[in-house]
Amino acid sequence: QVQLVESGGGLVQAGGFLKLSCAASGRTFSPYYMGWFRQAPGKEREFVSAIRWSDSSTYYADSVKGRFTLSRDNAKNTVYLQMNSLKPEDTAVYYCAARLTYYSRFSYYNPSHYGYWGQGTQVTVSS
């Protein structure tokens, strides 16, 4: 069983940067995929980035490609989301998610395919 805790959110001006962390608890942590999603008020939860654990392949939404970078630290059971060149439209609650088991039809961009979620961390980008 896994618990996920996000941190690192805050208030930043447009053009600035933040680095989010997602720490996973448990004796072992070797998921199928880890993902970052975000949700702004009145909007659906939106895919941001994901990583395939076995080979560290990373994937990004078009809206953040070239600005955000997902990485991991296996020793700390932690994944990160480095966010650069932030825009007001990046304002949202950011959630970390994990899929633990293999699924042949898994879609990393689909939040319904993830089984574990953190409580979220607020990111606010001012203009």
Give the tens place of pLDDT for each residue, 82-95. 999 999 999 999 99
The pLDDT assigned to 107 comes to 98
Give the tens place of pLDDT for each residue, 39-84. 999 999 999 999 999 999 999 999 999 999 999 998 889 999 999 9
Q: What is the mean pLDDT of residues 7-11?
A: 98
Name residue, tokens 């989301």.
Answer: 81
The fraction of the chain above a pLDDT of 70, given in percent, is 100
**Residue 104 identity:** S
Q: What is the mean pLDDT of the chain?
A: 96
The pLDDT assigned to 113 comes to 98
Q: How far apart are CA 43 and CA 21, in angstroms?
A: 23
E strands within 1-127? 4-7, 10-13, 18-24, 33-39, 46-52, 57-60, 68-73, 78-83, 92-99, 116-117, 121-126
Q: Is the dihedral of CA 62, 47, 87, 13 positive or negative?
A: negative
Query: 1 falls in which pLDDT band (50, 70, 90)?
Result: confident
Query: 99 falls in which pLDDT band (50, 70, 90)?
Result: very high
pLDDT at 26 over 80: no
The pLDDT assigned to 33 comes to 97
